Amino acid sequence: MQFSSPLARRSPPTIFTLVLLSGLSALSLNLFLPSLPNMALYFQADYKVMQLSIALYLLINAVLQILIGPIADKAGRRPVLLWGLSLFLIATLGCIYAPTVEVFLAFRMCQAVVVVGMVLSRAAVRDLYDQDKAASMIGYVTMGMAIVPMIGPAIGGLLEEGFGWKANFWLPFGLGAMTLALTFADFGETSVKSGKTLVQQFREYPELLRSPRFWGYSLSSALSSGAFFAYLGGAPFIGTELFGLTAAQVGIYFGAPALGYFVGNFLSGRYSVRFGVNRMVYWGCWLNAMGVALSAILFLAGLGTALSFFGLMTFVGLGNGMTIPNATSGALSVRPHLAATASGLSGAIMLGGGAGLSALAGALLTHETGAMPLLWLMLATSVLGICAIISVIRRERQLGL
């Protein structure tokens, strides 16, 4: 096929481009986590202030996802991606050259614009496939994305020890530039513009918000992943302060959930079409809760170690790898004509809750409390995730779906 202009590409993006778009968003979230203690020293700031770089990032992610979806349904996926990636590069440079912690946190919040990659790669998949096939494809896309958080903290710890904390922002800057170039060359538009004004597009939100099934899918994803976001906020403290691990060691241990997430996404890619999204979400939520419960039991028995704490988080990742792609596909399929809007809103619900849980986990942990406040918080969100998907299953039985 010949294209009259590179700005008007129509060929569907390759799976590699979708994986890279999703992965860049994940990398920007957790690559620098092993550097937090030294960044606090550099900026002469309290560790809890530096932890805001996680919670604020997630919060702005949530807000942006509410905006990105309707904008992309109106203007198309491609232009929103190109603008978002360009702004991400500018924000990353701001983080590198920030003179104070306040300026750093401001640019860190601006970095959240990279969430366009996660939102619109999923929306593009839903543009191209039906519900179960979309869940399978989203599973494969996010399976590739899982490699990034699996190795990201380990790489971040090594970069921190070898080159200092700024190296953990130069790397995503370089990868962001590469992703922008690849998106320009490969990501053809996958949607038809809605033809509605932006105000009209935002007025579509009530159609989603009135759907119990949309809420059930979104909350099962948000609550299941809430355990992981709480882990993000608390695990660096547990690793460094309670177990005395180095930055490199924390980075290596920290990737345990991503290993499970990789496997869970593979299972989603392999079996979602066969078993359907509801059963995959249900089993995923249970695996998530079981991993946290086992860890809590070990700590209550006085047997908790760094290996048991981080190792059992693999089940949290496994459960999320089964839950998130399938729940996302379910949420996007409630109103297929609002795929990007649904992707943004469901993602906002997930990350908005994640921001709160991440901040809460960081605030709860002290040397005196140990790991238990984090584990109780994670267990509570996991159990609520099970309740959410059960509500979806019951609703569909009532409707005869």
Residue 129 lies in a domain: yes
Cα atoms in the 13 Å half-sphere on the side-chain side of 302: 0
Measured distance CA(320)–CA(266) in Å, rounded: 12
Long-range (24+ apart) CB contacts under 8 A made by 391-396 are: 391/212, 391/216, 392/212, 392/213, 392/216, 392/217, 392/220, 392/278, 392/281, 392/330, 393/278, 393/282, 395/212, 395/213, 395/216, 396/213, 396/278
Domain total for the chain?
Answer: 1
CA-to-CA dists, residue 47 to 97, 158, 358, angstroms: 20, 20, 14
Q: Output the pLDDT for position 196.
A: 64
313 by Cβ neighbours in 10 Å (0-12 / 13-18 / 19+) ranks as buried
Average pLDDT over residues 229-239: 82
Residue 3 lies in a domain: no
Average pLDDT over residues 111-127: 82
Residue 2 lies in a domain: no
Q: At what angle do helices 115-128 and 47-75 cross, to 10 degrees?
A: 40
Nearest to 226 by CA among 109, 139, 323, 326: 323
Measured distance CA(197)–CA(194) in Å, rounded: 8
Residue 103 lies in a domain: yes
| 129 pLDDT higher than 50 | yes
| 6 pLDDT higher than 60 | no
**What percentage of the chain reaches a pLDDT higher than 90?**
18
Average pLDDT over residues 222-239: 84
| 173 pLDDT higher than 90 | yes
Q: What is the CA radius of gyration of the chain?
A: 20
Q: Output the pLDDT for position 1.
A: 33
Average pLDDT over residues 64-77: 79
CB 354 within 8 A of CB 226: yes
Q: Output the pLDDT for position 142.
A: 66
The residue among 116 and 348 whose pLDDT is bigger is 116
The residue among 11 and 5 whose pLDDT is bigger is 11
Backbone angles phi, psi at 399, to 5 degrees: -85, -10
Residue 1 lies in a domain: no
Measured distance CA(352)–CA(57) in Å, rounded: 10
Q: Output the pLDDT for position 26.
A: 76
Residue 276 lies in a domain: yes
CA-to-CA dists, residue 49 to 3, 28, 30, 41, angstroms: 50, 18, 16, 11
| 172 pLDDT higher than 70 | yes
Owner of token pair 């302060």: 241
Average pLDDT over residues 316-321: 90
Residue 322 lies in a domain: yes
> pTM here?
0.69
CA-to-CA dists, residue 128 to 18, 132, 337, 351, angstroms: 13, 12, 12, 25
Predicted confidence band at 9 (pLDDT cuts at 50, 70, 90)?
low
Nearest to 356 by CA among 106, 116, 57, 108: 57
Note the pLDDT tens digit of each residue in 296-310.
Answer: 999 998 888 888 999
Q: Output the pLDDT for position 294.
A: 95
Domain of 154 in residue numbering reads as 9-399
Q: Output the pLDDT for position 143.
A: 64
Note the pLDDT tens digit of each residue in 174-217.
Answer: 999 999 998 888 887 776 665 666 676 677 677 777 888 888 88
Q: What is the mean pLDDT of the chain?
A: 81
CATH of the domain at 373: 1.20.1250.20
* Dihedral, CA of residue 174, residue 176, residue 180 and residue 183, to nearest 10: 120
Six-digit token pair at 182?
A: 């690849």
Q: At what angle do helices 47-75 and 339-364 cross, to 10 degrees?
A: 170
| 283 pLDDT higher than 90 | yes
Note the pLDDT tens digit of each residue in 74-112.
Answer: 777 888 889 999 999 999 999 899 888 889 999 998 998
